[in-house]
Amino acid sequence: MRFDGYAVLITGAGRGIGEATARRLASEGARVLLTDADGERAEKAAAALRADGLTAESATCDVGDRAAVEAATAHAADRFGRLDVLVNNAYSFHPDPDLLEDVRDEDWARDLDITLTGALRCARAAMPHLAAADGRGAIVNIGSVNGEQDFGAHAYSAAKAGLAGLTRTLAGHGAPRGVRANLIAPGTVATPTWTGREVSLQQAAAHYPLGRVGRPEDIAAAVAFLASADAAWITGVTLPVDGGILVGNVGLREALRGSAQPTCRIR
Share of the chain above pLDDT 90, in %: 91
Give residue-wise pLDDT tens across range 85-95: 999 999 999 99
Domain boundaries, the chain: 7-195+213-244
Does the pLDDT of residue 20 top 70, yes or no?
yes
Give backbone dihedrals phi and psi of 214, rounded to 5 degrees, phi first.
-80, 165
Mean pLDDT of 87-104: 96
Say what the pTM is.
0.94
Angle at 227 between CA 81 and CA 214, to 5 degrees: 130
Catalytic residue among 6, 91, 156, 208: 156
**For this structure, is 91 an active site residue?**
no
As a whole number of angstroms, the distance between CA 217 and CA 235 comes to 22
Mean pLDDT of 170-191: 98
Q: What single letter denotes the amino acid at residue 5?
A: G
Domain 7-195+213-244 belongs to what architecture?
3-Layer(aba) Sandwich (3.40)
As a whole number of angstroms, the distance between CA 68 and CA 122 comes to 10
Mean pLDDT of 55-61: 98
pLDDT of residue 264: 42
